[in-house]
Amino acid sequence: MSKKLYRSKENRMICGVCGGIAEYLNVDPTVVRLIWVLFSVFTAIFGGIIAYIIACIIIPEES
């Protein structure tokens, strides 16, 4: 059975992207959020925000 990446309905703060990635990787959503914040800080905020918006558009919501 293959796993699919979805935006989470349960572990969401904004759009559920980090929660969905955490569910896909079987890790705590807080860890994914912290990594995303660090990525955003190291890319001068702009890269992390653009990546999140793109992920929110591309990744389908969990049914």
Specify if 43 maps to a domain.
yes
Domain count, the chain: 1
Specify if 10 maps to a domain.
no
Specify if 54 maps to a domain.
yes
pTM of the model: 0.86
Q: What is the pLDDT along the chain (63 residues), one digit of tens a residue?
A: 788 999 999 988 899 999 999 999 999 999 999 999 999 998 888 888 899 999 999 999 988
Range(s) of the domain holding residue 37: 17-58
The 8-class DSSP code of residue 61 comes to B
Specify if 50 maps to a domain.
yes
Specify if 41 maps to a domain.
yes
Specify if 4 maps to a domain.
no
Q: What percent of the chain has pLDDT over 90?
A: 67
Question: CB of 39 within 8 A of CB of 4?
Answer: no
